[in-house]
Amino acid sequence: MAVPLIRLENISKSFGRVRANHQVSLTIEQGRVLALLGENGAGKSTLMSILAGQLQPDSGTIFVDGQPLAITATDKAIEAGIGMVYQHFKLVGALTVAENIFLGRPGGLWLNLRTMQAEVVALAERYGMQVDPAALISDLSMGERQQVEILKLLQRESRVLIFDEPTAVLTPHEADNLFATMRKMTALGKGIVFISHKLEEVMAVADRIAILRRGEIVDTVAAAEVASTAELAERMVGREVLLRVEKSPMEARQIVLKVSDLTTPVLAGVSLELRQGEILALVGVAGNGQKQLVEAICGLHRPAPESVRILGMEWAEFFGRGNRDNTLSYIPEDRQGLATCQGLDLLDNFLLTTRGGFSRGPWLDRRRAAEKIGHLLGEFDIRPADPQAFAWQLSGGNLQKLVLAREFYRRPRLIVAEQPTQGLDIAAAEDVWNLLLKAREAAGVLVVTGDLGEAFALADRIGVMYNGRIVALFASDDEEMVALIPQMMAGLAAAD
């Protein structure tokens, strides 16, 4: 029997009272894709961070080619042929593709630019990728940037590649290209770990599937033995889960958001209306103006006068009134840097936007706030359910659920949600979808998402953004326009 590239044996890791991994054992084999699944907080990211040398296990052993190896730092992992493609790319935007790929390589002062570019082209062709080695990273699409991240690892001769939610920022066409590249890598003997909450992708690319639950491996199965995504979800969550919601018709009422010819250095004349009782989903590849639009609406950047009206008020009037009622709730994509403070506990993170409801004069009723956040932690299944736990101790998915719990508690009349289920497991995503649908009874909901399945499930209307413009805005049941969404996201088609 062939020796696996990597064998993890009885890996355990805790952060204070939080047990992230417990006695985890699994193997990564040459020429095969291992999918690692689990609910939010199950321990996937911790386990892969240990393998990539970013964290040290409390106990257990890592075997590389059958030999025990202490991976005490990321450079040790690189030397062992282990590389990780992170969900948030680690590239230098002002440098070229070739310069990023060779950045940090020993002897870099003596590298010839033409030689570097030729090596990048040859490496890309070998794995079926197309990149311009002279292009600046800042000019590339998210799919192209991901290819650069992969080429960085391949240039270092990584034999094991870990992909963490790799399709979160890709168009459907870019995701298909990624899967084709992964198949070429396994055909050439690479071992791949694939972490994703998109179960249909797991079924399409994985050879074996390992499932973590509360830090322990509870199931390992050949992908061919799993009959459906529904069965896979049940194995992962421990109960039947169908990512499907009932979207009952609802009458659209008064306008809660009106954007009129909003123009910035990135946006080019964006106009839209959102009414109470509806969900408008904006879809598009990251970097096409969605972030700038959301920041203008939500008060992070001042728009031009009369270009944004919220709840019937001009932008400046709305944000200057200091009224806790009739509010806007913003659920940012950057859950670690903007939505929360990593060094504060969950109670203080809850109070970041809700403290007005627990204040009387100069006094803050922390006891009542602690009771409320304690209830919400249980209601939203946030782990650990401890108001005194720090935000940095939560997984990305649990941190997202904390933000959602806090913002829904405020009972807003306008909700702006960026990638609301990105990084959430299938059960949590189902809960969030139902919450958003219920919220539209009292609010208008603007959802910014790169997940077309999410847009189709939730939206009453869909807008497609490309190059700073809304290139089309249409009802979600317009089948002809829906069919054109992937092309419009890539700039290959536009509405008549």
pLDDT digits (tens, 9 = 90+) for 426-483: 777 888 888 889 888 899 999 998 888 889 989 999 999 999 999 999 999 899 999 8
Q: How many helices (H) and strands (E) does the chain have?
A: 17, 22
Token pair 């992964």 is found at 182
DSSP track, 46-82: HHHHHHTTSS--SEEEEEETTEE----SHHHHHHTTE
| Confidence class for position 281, pLDDT limits 50, 70, 90 | very high
| Confidence class for position 107, pLDDT limits 50, 70, 90 | low
Residues forming a β-bridge with 414:
328, 444
409 sits in which H/E element: helix 396-409
For helices 366-379 and 396-409, the axis angle rounded to 10 degrees is: 120
Query: Model-level pTM greater than 0.95?
Result: no
The pLDDT assigned to 231 comes to 84
Higher pLDDT: 397 or 398? It is: 398
Q: Which string of b and e fits 308-341 if b means at least 16 CB within 10 Å?
A: bbbbeeebeebeeeeeeebbbbbbbbebbeebbe
pLDDT at 108 over 70: no
Per-residue pLDDT reduced to its tens digit, 47-85: 999 999 999 999 999 999 999 999 999 889 989 999 988
Report the distance separating Cα 277 and Cα 53, nearest Å. 48
The pLDDT assigned to 45 comes to 84
The pLDDT assigned to 240 comes to 66
296 sits in which H/E element: helix 290-297
Domains of the chain: 6-237 (3.40.50.300), 255-489 (3.40.50.300)
Share above pLDDT 90 across residues of the chain, in percent, rounded to a whole number: 47
3 state SS of 299:
coil
Distances in whole angstroms, Cα of residue 299 to Cα of each of 16, 329, 335, 427, 468? 37, 11, 17, 32, 19
The pLDDT assigned to 244 comes to 64
DSSP summary character for residue 340? -
Higher pLDDT: 390 or 325? It is: 390
291 sits in which H/E element: helix 290-297
> Six-digit token pair at 276?
């109470």
Per-residue pLDDT reduced to its tens digit, 142-166: 778 888 988 998 888 899 999 988 8
H-only helix segments in 91-167: 97-102, 113-126, 142-155
| Confidence class for position 29, pLDDT limits 50, 70, 90 | very high
pLDDT at 264 over 60: yes
The pLDDT assigned to 345 comes to 94
| Confidence class for position 493, pLDDT limits 50, 70, 90 | low
Report the distance separating Cα 242 and Cα 226, nearest Å. 16
pLDDT at 168 over 80: no
DSSP summary character for residue 2? P
Per-residue pLDDT reduced to its tens digit, 114-142: 888 999 999 988 888 888 999 998 888 77
The pLDDT assigned to 55 comes to 92
The pLDDT assigned to 325 comes to 61
| Confidence class for position 18, pLDDT limits 50, 70, 90 | confident
Report the distance separating Cα 96 and Cα 133, nearest Å. 7
Distances in whole angstroms, Cα of residue 408 to Cα of each of 142, 155, 445, 471, 483? 31, 46, 12, 31, 33
pLDDT at 256 over 80: yes
The pLDDT assigned to 444 comes to 95
The pLDDT assigned to 447 comes to 96
Nearest to 401, CA basis, from 470, 351, 356, 335: 335
Report the distance separating Cα 433 and Cα 247, nearest Å. 10
Report the distance separating Cα 106 and Cα 166, nearest Å. 28
The pLDDT assigned to 242 comes to 56
User: What phi, psi does 102 have (nearest 5°)?
Assistant: -95, 0
The pLDDT assigned to 473 comes to 94
pLDDT at 178 over 90: no
> Six-digit token pair at 233?
């979800």
Distances in whole angstroms, Cα of residue 371 to Cα of each of 17, 170, 297, 329, 347? 21, 40, 32, 22, 10
The pLDDT assigned to 269 comes to 92
